[in-house]
Amino acid sequence: MVTDGRYIAAIGNFDGVHRGHQHLLEEAAAFAKAHEAHAAALTFDPHPRRYFRPDDPPFLLTAPEVRDGLLSRYGAKKVFVLNFDKELASLTPEDFLIATLKGKLGLAGVVAGADFRFGKGRTGGIEALQTIGEGAGLLVRIAEVISEKPYAEKYSSSDARNAIVAGDMRAAAHVLGRAWGVRGVVSVGQRLGRTLGFPTANFSLGEVIEPRKGVYATRATFGGHTFKAVSNFGRRPTVGSDAPLLETHLFDFDDDIYGTEIDVEFIEFIRDEQKFDGLDALKAAISSDCERAREILSANSAR
C-alpha cells in the first residue's frame, strides 16, 4: 500500500473532525506545502475506543464514511485508514513509525497534536514521535492545541459528545465548527407519519452517538437539495418503538425517498420526547413542533 507520491499526514482518530482537528489539517497542509508534498490524514477503523472497550454504547460523532468526507473537505488530499486490530495495538512505537508509517504507507512525514499517544500501551508520545520518526527519515511537526473559552479548555470530541447527549446543539456546533449531523438510508416504517399528515424519512443511527431524545429543528440534504425539517429521535412512546429511531419530516416535500441516503443536521432542541393521549394529541403536538422548527430555522438562516 505504498503511495505514488509524497504525503505528509495529520494523524489522529478525527472523530467529529472538530475545530481542533481542522487546525491540525491546516498545519499539515502548510507543512506539506513547505516540503513540496501533499497533505493527507491518517486515521483508524474501528475507533481504538471500540477495540479496547467493545461493550461501550454507540459513541461516534461521525460514521467513518462521513469522517473521511470531512477530512477531504478540510484539506486532506488522501485519507489513509489503518485497521485497528490486535496486531496494530501491539506494535511498539518504533514499529508503528518505521514499519507502518514509513514502510507500509510510505509517508514523507506526520503532523500530530501535542497530546498524541501511540504504540503498545500508549507508550509513545511527542518526544518519541520526533526522535524515532526523524531518525527514520520522517518529517515531524507538532501542532499546538487551540482553544476558546468559555466552551472548553480545548476543542475535543468529548465536549461535542457531552453537548449532543444534553441536546445542546449550539455548543456542539461551536466545537465542531458546523452543525452536528448524521447520515442514513431511509427505511420503510409504519407509515404512521403519513397517516397523520406528516410523512417522515426514518433511519437508525447505528454506531453514531444518540442525542437527547426529543424533537429538533433540523435540515435534511439529499440529491444536492437541502430542506428545512423537524426531527424526532426516540422510541415514540405514544405508539411504541422497539429501538430508537430518527424520524425527519421535510417541510414542503412529499415524494417517496425510501432507499435514499440522507444527511440530517441538528440545529436546535425543541422539546423532550413525551407520551400523548392518543393520535389527535400527537398530531397537534407535531403541528406545534413544525411551527417552532420553522421559526428557529428562519432565524438561523438570517444570522
Number of domains present in the structure of the chain: 2
| 115 lies in the same domain as 60 | yes
| 137 lies in the same domain as 24 | yes
Backbone torsions φ then ψ of 43, nearest 5 degrees: -140, -170
164 belongs to a structural domain: no
For position 262, which CATH number holds?
Answer: 2.40.30.30
155 belongs to a structural domain: no
| 190 lies in the same domain as 297 | yes
| 112 lies in the same domain as 189 | no
260 belongs to a structural domain: yes
- pLDDT, block means (10 residues), the chain with 303 residues: 73 96 96 96 97 96 97 98 97 96 96 93 94 94 69 78 98 97 88 70 95 97 96 76 86 91 98 87 92 95 61
For position 34, which CATH number holds?
Answer: 3.40.50.620
pTM to 2 decimal places: 0.90
CB 289 within 8 A of CB 230: yes
C-alpha cell of 117? 499517544
| 186 lies in the same domain as 291 | yes
CB 31 within 8 A of CB 8: yes
CA separation (Å) from 212 to 90, 162, 179, 193, 231? Answer: 37, 10, 15, 21, 12
User: Whole domain around residue 99: which residue ranges?
Assistant: 7-143
163 belongs to a structural domain: no
9: left (phi over 0), alpha (psi -120 to 50) or beta: beta
Among residues 143, 167, 199, the one where a domain terminates is 143
| 191 lies in the same domain as 296 | yes
Question: What pLDDT, on the 0 to 100 scale, is given for residue 152?
Answer: 42
| 203 lies in the same domain as 129 | no
218 belongs to a structural domain: yes
| 28 lies in the same domain as 83 | yes
160 belongs to a structural domain: no
Question: What pLDDT, on the 0 to 100 scale, is given for residue 238?
Answer: 54
171 belongs to a structural domain: no
| 24 lies in the same domain as 101 | yes
